[in-house]
Amino acid sequence: MMTTAADKSEVMIHLETRNVQDGQVNQLVQDVPGQFFNMGKTIYLRYQEKATDGQTAAVTFKVNAAGDEVQLSRHQGDNRSRMIFAVNQQVEAKYQTAYGNLPLTILTPKLNVSLSNYPISGKVSVDYTLFSNGQELGQYKIRLQFTA
C-alpha cells in the first residue's frame, strides 16, 4: 500500500456496476476522469458519475491502509449515501433523501483491492447485498479500475 504524505493525481476511472433487483438486471459502464488522493495510509478516489437521467453524482471511494474496508460516499441533489464495505460483516448505513432517511444494512461477501505506485493505478472489486428493515433490496457488484 502507498504510504507517502498527501499526494494528488489525475486519473482515468473505468467503472462497471451491476445490480439485480426484483429479478431485473441493470448494468452500467462508464469511463470518467477523476482524482486520486493519498493521505497518510488512506487513499481516496473522487469523480463525477453520470446518471442515466443526465444528472451527475459526486462519488468518493475511501480505501483503508489494509485494503479490507472500502467506504463509498455518493451525493446527488438531495440524495446522500455513505456505505461501508467490510468482508463478511453486516454494516449499517443510511440513504438520505428529500423525504427522509432510509436505514440500510450492507453485507459484503467479496472485497478485493489492489494498488500500484508506478504508475499510480488500482482495482477495487466489491460484491454486496443491500437490505432495508430486513428485506433484501438487491445484489450489487462494483468493478472500478483507475490509472494515472
The verdict on residue 96 lying in a domain is: yes
Establish if 1 belongs to a structural domain. Answer: no
Residue 86: predicted pLDDT: 95
How far apart are alpha carbons 19 and 42 in whole angstroms? 28
Looking at the predicted structure, is the pLDDT value of residue 6 above 80? no
User: Quick check: is 2 in a domain?
Assistant: no
Domain that holds residue 57: 7-147
Return the CATH number at 19: 2.40.128.20
| Max Cα–Cα distance, the chain, nearest Å | 45
In a domain, 101, yes or no: yes
In a domain, 100, yes or no: yes
Q: Is residue 117 part of a domain?
A: yes
Report the pLDDT value the prediction gives residue 94, as an integer from 0 to 100. Answer: 85
Quickly list DSSP for 54-87: S-EEEEEEEE-TTSSEEEEEEEETTEEEEEEEEB
Whole-prediction pTM: 0.87
CA 43 – CA 46 distance, rounded (Å): 10
Instruction: Share the mean pLDDT of the chain.
Output: 90
Mean pLDDT of 13-23: 93
Taking the C-alpha atoms of residue 114 and residue 109, their distance in angstroms, rounded to an integer, is 17
